[in-house]
Structure 1
Amino acid sequence: MVWIGIYIAIASLVCILPMLADLIHGFRNKKPWFPCKYFTLNAASLTVIAVAMKLPVDLNNSMPGQVDQGAKLGSMAFMCTMMANLLPSLATMDTKELLTNIIALSILVITLVVNVCIQIKTGVLNNNKHYYRDYNIVSYNSWLIAIFYVAMLLALLMIHISSALTILKSKKILDSKYKAGHETALKDLELQQPMVEKLRQHVSNHWIMAGTGSPQFMIVCSATTSASGVICFLSALILTIIMFPIRPDLPNYGSDYKGSVVVILVTQFIGVLLGTVAPLSRCFAFLSFKVSIKWIWSHIGVFKVESYCTQKLFDWKQSSIPFEFSSRICKCFFQDLKILTLNLCIRIQKTVVIACKMIALIPIFFVIGALCCFHCWKWLKVMFGASNSVLVERPVQIQHNRSDLSQYVLQLQDDMEIAERALESISKSGNIVIQKAEKHKPNNLMNLLEKSSGFEGVGQYDVHQVPPLLEEKYVDCWSLPLVTLTAIIMSLPNIQKDNTDKLLRSVGEGLRYVTHVEETLNSSEEYAIIQKVARTMWLEVEVSHKWLGNKVQNLAYEVNTPKEIVQWFSDTAENIVTENLKVSDDISFHKKISASSMYRITQTMLVDIDQVSHEELFGRLSSMISCILAACLTNLPQVITMKCHTSVIEERDTSVHTAAQLLGETMQIINSLQVRNLPSLNPDDLPFIDKWRDCVLHPSP
């Protein structure tokens, strides 16, 4: 049993660590409402939580000691804390996930509550005053505190169910408002110049929409989250109070868990203290919006419940029963039963929402009281001359773009307005991401791009005069010729190792952005297959310095001149294709595509390579790689624009964060490519390397 106790403590620690990670993530990203990124409600977390709740559901082991009783109550407080932390994660789920996880959580909580009630009835949770009487310890009524925790657990469960019902309709409201904001942002994008400033403003607009329209931010700013934060704080306060009379140094713990109970108690108490920070902070996230006394009266004083809180229940009420009945009487009976049940659920939902709004007044009035005290203190300070310094008014910062940004704020209720400080904080967090990304510019890639001033290299790697080795015709992608050319460069002897290593790093940096271009603009299945081949081959070239199993840096022992090296690659590629021509597994397919690309490129190079030195070939191939990368990266503005927008509401925050980071890293590249003369390509053809190659080889008059 001692080892089981240690197992419970480890499970508790596993729950604490992701809660701590969410705290750190919130502080680092300037999000004081602490979104759930690591500690979320899912099958894995519910399994670990069930293990951590072993003590309060244990009916077989008598735990009469004061430490034992405290550990049972501490586990219940820990459960309250975890439920309050998990609440925002409900907003990240679709309907099916939401239903599944809420049912699983309900089963866990109800099982816990029933077991605790049984222990209260049987006296396992009791008044432990008669224990340690000789030590003059102040005791407490375990059963009474357990009843309070049972009530709080049931209240939190009702809040989770209520929030889940609200989320389903709220997402649709935010989604419709986001679409309108996105259309406005696209119109503003056409008016902005130059390109980098245009992209920065576009990212900022979508950052505001993704931040204020985030499902997690939506639920955090609701009364249900404020109520859960108050309950979480109350449970932590009760546990802190009952911890004072506990004496873990006493030798008799009264249960088979023995000393491991202390480890559980301390671990879960630390978890309660750390886990209370986020729910308590979320209590005040509601104040991110301007809330007037009139608004409080109209929405709470007269017990108003918004339609989106009960809309899902009304939809279910109006829908037909998804079962077929042979008897009309049975069908009418079940239809009436469904209506009665849902009417009851609607009333319960309204009651829960109103109760949460009443509880949410506590942090609101607390802040109002704190502000009043602060202003009184400042007034007294001035009146009694506490400070002889002349009060200097802060310079008013010109908020020239606040009105522009406020039109992108998404909110469920139109009669609420976001506070200026909250809007500035959200906007500033986006600028911080861009500024941090600017410090991680791809310097090696930028140096490589300087080796070319145009895009002529796009037409030089494959002039389309080489008969294909494969009968099947495969599309070409940006990354495959880049990896193939790099493999040839890695085989060249008499080139300083620093130069080849620097080129390898440059191509590696470039392929990161090439991947963004390909995944965003060339995402069809036929392109995805070739891109996967290129990624596999690049891993082999970068890590092992091999090409299809051949150590390219050892070629100098077999062949020496540049022409011999290129000829070796061409012959080897032809042999690989021939050997795998009739094989149809994934490995042979990868080899055929890679070898076919190598054959086409090397056959093109063999036309004019007779008198070329190693250094000249290195420079020629480096310039070719530079041109291909430059042509591909001209699509970065379009990629950033598209990454700002996604139709999946749960992914918008992550997508616009990627866009902001991508913009910060590549601003200098975008500016440098703007001065180059683009070929006369249709804008729709810019993402495709074969269109570039044809245009460079056969420019239109």
Structure 2
Amino acid sequence: MGRDLNEYLLLLQQLKSYSNVPNELIYSLRSYTTLVYGSDLQNRFSEPMPWIGIYIALASLFCVIAMVADLLHGLRNRKLWFPCKYFTLNAASLSLIAIAMKLPVDLNNSMPGDVDQAAKVGSMGFMCAMMSHLLPALATLDSKELVTNIIALSVLVITLVVNVCIQIETGVVSSTDVLYVLALAILKSKQILEMKYQAAHETALKDQELQQQGRLVVDKIKQYVSNYWVMAATGNPEFFTACSATSCASGIISAISTALHVIVMVSIVGSLWDFRSDYQWSALVILITQLIGSLVGTMAPLSRCFATLSFKLSIKWIWNNVNVFKVESYWTQTLSDWKESTIPFLPCSRKFKIFVENTKVIVLSFCIGFQKTVVVTCKIIGLIPIFIVICIFNCSCCWKWLKSKFNAFGIVLIKEPEQHETNKILSNYVLQLQEDAELAERTLKRISYSFERIVEKAEKQPPYNLMKLLEGYRGFGRAEKFDSHHVLSLLLEESPDCWSLLLVTLITIAISLPNITKDRVDCLLSGVSEGMVYVTIVEESLNATDDHVIFQKAAQTLWLEVEIYQKWLGNKLQKPVPLANTAGQILLWLRDTAMNMVTQVESSDTKGQNDSSKFWSISASSMYRITEMILLSNHANIDKVSQEELFEQLSSMIVDVLVACLMNLPQVIAMKCHSSEIEKREASVYAAAQLLGETMQIINAIQDSELPSLNLDDLVIIVNKWGA
């Protein structure tokens, strides 16, 4: 029992000891014991409520931090429509939103204080701001994810609105309808953008050639990537979502909701300590946190309204095409397709089929009408930013007219920088939902500039150690006593391995030579380490079959052991080998050790082999073939080859392998430009631009080099010969 109940019972016991207190009064007071007990329990249950309030505030804070991260990301990348990179629709964000909205859906706890009421109503404004911020995230989801997340969010919003209406008996401003309308429009808009992308993709393939007479042309690669950059930027469904009428209307609604939130906060400034609910002081923390969240969450939607009108479409087009009652087909096409489709029936009566079909037509006709009404309403609301932009445009025109008049009288004002003409080639790859829409010239320039900035930034961070390694062996493999090209050709023809495994094996042999100075070994290792990054990218792009993947995984496992621990399959490298002082003896020891490992693995139960055993077998087989090939090619003079000479020969072979692999970079960059998934295209083209900038000097260096022994075309497509 609680303290209050114990005190009450003690009081009754004292009253009973007095002879002048009637027994009827004592019995009457005893009947209130249950009420006192209930009150005591309620107080005990309410003790953790302030900490629950802190939990709500923390969930709200995480949402605010994610929205701030989106704002910073948009500003950093000059995307004023602020894509949702960090605050997106997924299980985690929906859970945080549900926790943050606990106050409005709480029907059990009364909120009598001014702060309590402001916190509960303010949560609705915070919810509206979050939904407006999240709208572009709908376009990043595929059809299945879109339906699932919309249903989950709708259940939360409907519950929220109903509970608030029950408690305060009033309507609440919400952008729920915008979510439904936009979700249906996204499905059709993706199909339209996909068709236009495929057409532009075919044009790009016909217009661009990555090779001319066996020479790699960097300028053509760059132009090729820039074409896809424009396609990905203008055909991004997230961009369409952020620039839509519904997104603009949602931003206006969010701004109004946030303004009301601020007004409520200002009205209770004099009673900030009036919190009488079970949440106590935590209600004030929730109120302040969610007010900040409402302000932050409104910034992106409002910016989208003006950025859309200022950058996506030309002002001239806006001026001539302001038609709020025109509803484009992609808004209602999904519902129209559902209306015209047939429902597969189970065996049932003809009357039931007629009833179901008529009901479907009536319901979807109503939904189409509702959809059009919402779109028209959103366009009417969107007239507000359009009016502001048009006023700014007219003021700009007046300013230009005044400057021309002043210049006519010899008064020179601030001279504007020269405006370069928009690249007409890039304009052919602009994707738009509306055929009559005109992309603003400044938008195309901005898109082109963003591409140039990414490439230039990456170009300033090239793989210096790899470039140093390639420059140190320009000409590739010119040793007099050892034809490295001949050995490499034999290995490439007979070995079913991959470039990375060949590289790791060669550098393992080089590191195992104890008489080579540490500086030279480290220099070679650093260059190969940077080169392995691009070798892996090439292999993952060109060799995606299961047969090659297992060799690539074996190479990655072995490379980690060689680079970090300087070991090969558990054997310490550069450790003096018994009876192995010359280069030939070291090669023989490595060959015999590898052969013993292969024999040991093959003699074991192959069915019981795990991945580790397979990797050991692949690595040992590669070492055996390479050492055997080197020994055979130097059979007559193997005892005369010094460690210094062998190290030079191995270094030359390593560079040859790197060149053979990296000559495929243009093809890999081109492959990365195109992605079959519309949601991943922008990230894929970004990776291609980044790779182009980093490897531009490498491609130029390879282009300027001469490879006397190996055929250039064979090197470019040598990967197709492996495993044959």
**Please, what TM-score do these two structures have when normalized by structure 2?**
0.84
Within the candidate set 43, 50, 56, 1:2 is matched to: 50
Name the counterpart of 1:587: 612
- Give the match for residue 201 of structure 1: 223
How far residue 247 of structure 1 moved from its aligned partner, in angstroms, is 3.8
- Counterpart-to-counterpart distance in 2, 1:369 and 1:160: 30
What pairs with 1:204-219 in structure 2 (closer than 5 Å)? 204-219=226-241
CA displacement, residues 275-319 of structure 1 (integer Å, 9 cap, x when unaligned): 222111111232224456776675624x11111111111111111
User: AA paired with 2:219?
Assistant: E
Matches within 5 A, 1:221-370: 221-247=243-269, 250-287=272-309, 288-291=311-314, 300-301=323-324, 303-370=325-392
Cα contact 2:317–2:437 (8 A) shared by 1 = no
Q: Does 1:483 align with 2:533?
A: no
Q: Note the C-alpha offset of 1:426.
A: 0.7
Cα deviation for residue 643 of structure 1 reads: 1.4
| Partner residue, 1:129 | none
SS in 1 for 2:209: helix
Q: Is the 8 A contact 1:453 1:676 kept in 2?
A: yes
Aligned to 1:688: 718
**Structure-2 change in CA distance of 1:252 and 1:571 (3 Å):** farther
The structure having more radius of gyration, on CA atoms, is 2
Match of 1:610 among 639, 644, 652: 639
Unaligned runs of 5+ in 1: 122-143, 469-473, 695-701
Counterparts in 2 of 1:224-623, with a 5 A limit?
Answer: 224-247=246-269, 250-287=272-309, 288-291=311-314, 300-301=323-324, 303-373=325-395, 390-391=412-413, 393-394=415-416, 396-399=418-421, 401-450=422-471, 451-454=473-476, 457=484, 459-461=486-488, 463=490, 475-555=496-576, 560-581=581-602, 582-583=605-606, 584-607=609-632, 608=634, 609-623=638-652
Contact map agreement 1:59 1:115 (CA 8 A) in 2:
yes
- Show structure 2 runs of 5+ residues with no match: 1-48, 478-482
Matched, 1:190 2:220: no
Change (3 A) 1:371 1:509: same
Change (3 A) 1:465 1:48: closer
Q: Describe the SS at the equivalent of 2:278.
A: coil
> In structure 2, which of residues 72, 75, 82 is the aligned counterpart of residue 24 of structure 1?
72
2:661 corresponds to 1:632: yes
- Percent identity between matched residues is 56
Deviation, 1:526, is 1.5
Go from structure 1 to structure 2 and tell me whether the alpha carbon gap of 1:443 and 1:91 turns closer, same or farther (over 3 Å shift): same
> How far 1:396 sits from its partner (Å)?
3.7
Report the Cα offset of residue 531 of structure 1. Answer: 1.2
Summarize the Cα distance change of 1:544–1:18 in structure 2 as closer, same or farther, 3 Å threshold.
farther
Question: Paired residue for 2:678?
Answer: 649
| Letter aligned with residue 639 of structure 1 | V
Preserved CA contact (<8 Å) 1:476 1:690: no
Deviation at 1:569, TM superposition (A): 2.6
Task: For 1:27-176, list aligned pairs within 5 A.
Answer: 27-121=75-169, 147=171, 150-151=172-173, 153=174, 156-176=175-195
State the 1:574 CA deviation: 2.3
Local SS of the residue matching 2:323: helix
Q: CA RMSD in A?
A: 2.9
Name the stretch that deviates more: 414-423 or 577-586: 577-586
How big is the shift at 1:435? 0.3
Deviation at 1:556, TM superposition (A): 5.7
75-84 or 677-686, which deviates more: 677-686
Moved more, 307-316 or 70-79: 70-79
The alpha-carbon deviation at position 501 of structure 1 amounts to 2.3
Tell me, in whole angstroms, the C-alpha distance in 1 between the residues paired with 2:210 and 2:145: 42
- Is the 8 Å Cα contact of residues 137 and 238 (structure 2) preserved in structure 1? yes
Distance in 1 between residues matched to 2:693 and 2:191, nearest whole Å: 32
Matched length: 656
Q: CA deviation at 1:495?
A: 2.7
SS in 2 for 1:353: helix
Structure 2 CA distance for aligned equivalents of residues 635 and 204 of structure 1: 19
Whole-angstrom distance in 2 between the partners of 1:555 and 1:654: 49
The letter of the residue matching 2:193 is L
Query: Partners of 2:263 and 2:642 in 1: how far apart?
Result: 82
Which secondary structure does the structure 1 equivalent of 2:649 belong to?
helix
The 3-state SS of whatever aligns with 1:190 is coil
Does the residue aligned with 1:76 lie in a helix, a strand or coil? Answer: helix
- Counterpart-to-counterpart distance in 2, 1:371 and 1:565: 78
Question: Is this contact kept in 2: 1:233–1:276, CA < 8 A?
Answer: yes
**Are the aligned partners of 2:210 and 2:667 in contact in 1 as well (CA < 8 Å)?**
no
Q: Write out per-residue CA displacement over residues 2-35 of structure 1, whole angstroms, 9 at most, x where no aligned residue.
A: 2212211221122122222222221121211111
Distance of 1:553 and 1:62 partners within structure 2: 76
CA contact (8 A) 2:663 2:715 kept: no
Post-superposition shift, 1:110? Answer: 0.8
Moved more, 67-76 or 441-450: 67-76
Query: Residue type of the partner of 2:191?
Result: K
CA distance, structure 2, for counterparts of residue 246 and residue 568 of structure 1: 85
Residues 392, 293 of structure 1: alpha-carbon distance in 2 compared, 3 angstrom cutoff: closer
Q: Structure 2: how far apart are the matches of 1:391 and 1:620? A: 68
Amino acid at match of 2:282: S
Report the residue type matching 2:182 in the other structure.
Answer: S
Cα deviation digits, residues 419-441 of structure 1 (max 9, x gap): 11111001100000000000111
1:229-284: per-residue Cα shift (whole Å, max 9, x none)?
Answer: 11122222221222223349854521222222222222222222222221111112
In structure 2, distance between residues paired with 1:332 and 1:197: 64
Secondary structure in 1 aligned to 2:208?
A: helix
Aligned residue for 1:244, secondary structure, equals helix
Matching residue's letter, 1:306: E
Whole-Å separation in 2 of the counterparts to 1:161 and 1:13: 27
Deviates more, 1:444-453 or 1:179-188: 179-188
CA distance in structure 2 between the partners assigned to 1:521 and 1:653 by the alignment: 21
The residue aligned with 2:6 is none
The question of whether the paired residues in 1 share the 8 Å contact of 2:582 and 2:639 is answered with no
Give the structure 2 partner of residue 673 of structure 1: 702
State the match for 2:23 in structure 1.
Answer: none
Residues of 1 paired with 2:416 and 2:406: CA distance?
A: 22
Residue identity matched to 2:187: L
